[in-house]
Structure formats: structure tokens, C-alpha cells
Amino acid sequence: MAYNLVSPMNPLKNLNALALFLPVALLLAPDQAWALQSHGEPEGIYVHQMAHIFYAAALGYLFWDVGRNAFPGKGWRYLQTFCALMILWNVVAFSGHWLGFHIDNSEIMRSSGYFSSQIMGPISGVKLIYFCATLDHLLSVPALFFLFLSLRTLYRSSDKAETE
């Protein structure tokens, strides 16, 4: 029995239309991203902090192993740069989470939600370091760029080696 693929009753055609419509609808009418997850007290933050430690340790091992094996090429150096920046990011994020417990919620004004938070005066050393720790994207974004450079360089070098 042969199926007509252009039939209006074809469920695959409807699924393809939905797969195209849904992302467009979400882009044109965004509501809440729900990208932030608050952790339950106190176990959630403990697990989150341990994840920062384990992630930094894994990146430290990768950094060490790439250097120990003395892999040649820029791609491996880019990978080590990614590891170093992400280790720093983990230290900054861990510190920011920890300092968040030393700042009272009344000292942070959230007039328009989480993304428009402002630290109330007077500014102390803890508040200043906490503010700097909230700028962790200044480490993570360049780190991901170095990961991209690493993967692209390694791909191109392997592709070149296969064609020769």
C-alpha cells in the first residue's frame, strides 16, 4: 500500500508546519523565559555550589592534561584558555553566591524584577565584591568564544589532515 505524502491527512506535514510555526510564535510573542531557577533552602544552594567546585576541578584536570601531553597547535591552546577562563568564572560565581548570603534582601532593590537589581547604599566592601561577582558574564562569554575557536581550529586541522 502506497501513501500519498502530499495528502492533507499526512501527520508528518502537520508536524513540520508546527515545528516551523512554534519557534516563530515564541520569537514574536515572548512572555517569560523561565531561565532562572531558584534553589530550595538549604540543599539546593549546597548542590549548586558543589557543582561549581566539581566543574572547576574537571576543567583544571582538562587544562593540566592538555598541557601535560603537549598537544601541538593553536586549537589546544585555545582550549586551555577556555578552561582557565571558565575556572575563573566558577570562582567568581561561587564567591558571588556565597556573598549573597551576607547581604540582606532589603539592601537590594528589585523595582522591575531580577534583571534590574540595584544595590542600596552605603556601599561596603562585601557589596562591591558581590556587584563585581554579578558581572560573571564578562568571563563566561569570552570563554565560550575561545571554546568556539578551539573547536573550529581543531576541526579545520583534522579536515586538512584527512584531505592530504
Q: Which three cell numbers stand for residue 93?
A: 560565581
Q: What is the mean pLDDT of the chain?
A: 81
Q: Where are the domains of the chain?
A: 52-163
Rounded to an integer, the average pLDDT of 57-77 is 91
What is the pLDDT, as a whole number, of residue 115?
65
What is the pLDDT, as a whole number, of residue 34?
61
Q: Tell me which of 142 and 41 has the higher pLDDT.
A: 142
Burial 29-40 (b: 16+ CB within 10 A, else e): eeeeeeeeeeee
Asked whether residue 52 carries a pLDDT value surpassing 80, the answer given is yes
What is the pLDDT, as a whole number, of residue 38?
65
- At 78-131, the pLDDT tens digits run 999 999 999 999 999 999 888 878 777 777 777 776 566 667 777 777 778 878
> The whole model's pTM is what?
0.68
- What length does the chain have? 164
8 Å CB contact between 146 and 82: yes
| SS3 category, 117 | strand
